[in-house]
Structure 1
Amino acid sequence: MKILLACGGGMSSSILAENLVAEAKKQGDNDFMMEATGTEEVSLKMQQDNWDALLLAPQVSFRKEHLQKDADSYGIPLIPIEGILYTPMGIPDLYKLIQEKVHK
């Protein structure tokens, strides 16, 4: 599974991505891959590769409407991340949410 994380391009998103990949491996999902990118680069990234979902970091939630159009055009779910899930303690629940949204 390939997940694109739209963020502000900061350090917290990279840490979140690393923790989600680690959680996936812990759950036996060795094919889980994630990349964090700034919201301004999402369209380009989506053109360059096939993604299974687009996550939206809480700090850029104001870009949801714009990014929803990108996700819709590629037929993938846009998954806004609630603040409580954007923490180390929220990683297992966020991984579960991603699984639910992608495997509907």
Structure 2
Amino acid sequence: MKILLACGGGMSSSILAENLVAEAKKQGNEDFMMEATGTEEVALKMQQDTWDALLLAPQVSFRKQHLQKEADAHGIPLIPIEGILYTPMGIPDLYKLIQKEVKK
């Protein structure tokens, strides 16, 4: 599973991505891959590769409408992350949410 995380390009999103990959491995999902990128690079990343979902970091939620169009154009779900899930303690629940949304 390949997930693209749209963020402000900061350090927190890279840490979140690393923690989600670790959670996936803990759950036995060795094929889980995640990449964090700034919202301005999402369209290019979507053209360059195939993704299973687009996550939206809370700090860039104001870009949801624009990014929803990108996700729709590629037939993948856009998953906004609630602030409470954008923490180390929220990682297991965020991983479950991703699994649920991608399998729809």
> TM-score with structure 2 length normalisation?
1.00
Which consecutive residues of structure 1, in runs of 5 or more, have no partner in the other structure? Answer: none
Task: Tell me the SS of whatever aligns to 2:79.
Answer: strand
Q: Secondary structure at the match of 1:55?
A: strand
Q: Show the 5 A alignment for 1:1-104.
A: 1-104=1-104
Residue type of the alignment partner of 1:29: N
- Give the count of matched residue pairs: 104
Unaligned runs of 5+ in 2: none
Runs of 4+ in 1 over 6 A off after TM superposition: none
Aligned partners of 1:89, 1:13: CA distance in 2, in Å? 15
Aligned residues with identical type, % of pairs: 89
Per-residue CA deviations over 1:11-43 (Å, capped at 9, x if unaligned) read 000000000000000000000000000000000
Superposition RMSD in Å:
0.2
TM-score normalised by L of structure 1 = 1.00
State the secondary structure of the residue aligned to 1:50: coil
